[in-house]
Amino acid sequence: MNRASYFSPQAGRVIDAPRLTRARFAIGDVVRHKQHDFRGVVFDIDPVFANSEEWYQSIPIDVRPVREQPYYHLLAENEDSSYVAYVSQQNLMGDSDGGPVDHPSLSQIFDEYRDGRYQLRRGLAH
């Protein structure tokens, strides 16, 4: 398999990842966690797990997701608060029918909510 390496500031180390991965969701998509009651907007995607080892080990082993899958950075919300979440692809499902997300940082990254997803602000695309 063709692989690449990149430095992850979050993990504080170099991450080895496949050159091609199949991300189910895109930046601007609205998603919902399958087990926990929160939803959010994707604002970044890692091709494989790229957070700290401490974070990964803190997940109970019986529900710990595999590393070799896309992980999504979300502007997340639940009934009580807004926050940033880091979630494996296996734990997410689309939620475009749920309407807009209410997160205070949305306007820094996205423009309008249209057709079930957020439009990335001009000048922020790679």
In eight-state DSSP terms, residue 81 is -
- Triad 113, 119, 123: Cα angle to 5°: 145
Global pTM? Answer: 0.84
Which CATH code, of 3.40.50.300, 2.30.40.10, 2.30.30.390, 3.30.420.10, is assigned to 3-116? 2.30.30.390
- Statement: residue 12 has pLDDT above 80: no
Domain assignments of the chain as residue spans, ordered by start? 3-116
Residue 43 CA to residue 59 CA, distance in Å, equals 23
- Residues 64-92 as b/e (b if ≥16 CB within 10 A, e otherwise) read eeeeebbbbbbbbbeeeebeebbbbbebb
Residues for the chain: how many in total?
126
- Statement: residue 1 has pLDDT above 60: no
Q: How much is the pLDDT for 123?
A: 73
Q: Which tokens in the block code for residue 50?
A: 């790229």
Q: Which tokens in the block code for residue 8?
A: 């992850």
Q: How much is the pLDDT for 2?
A: 72
Distances (CA, A) of 19 to 44, 45, 50, 67, 81: 17, 14, 15, 15, 36
pLDDT digits (tens, 9 = 90+) for 63-113: 999 998 999 999 999 999 999 999 999 999 999 888 999 999 999 999 999
- Statement: residue 60 has pLDDT above 90: yes
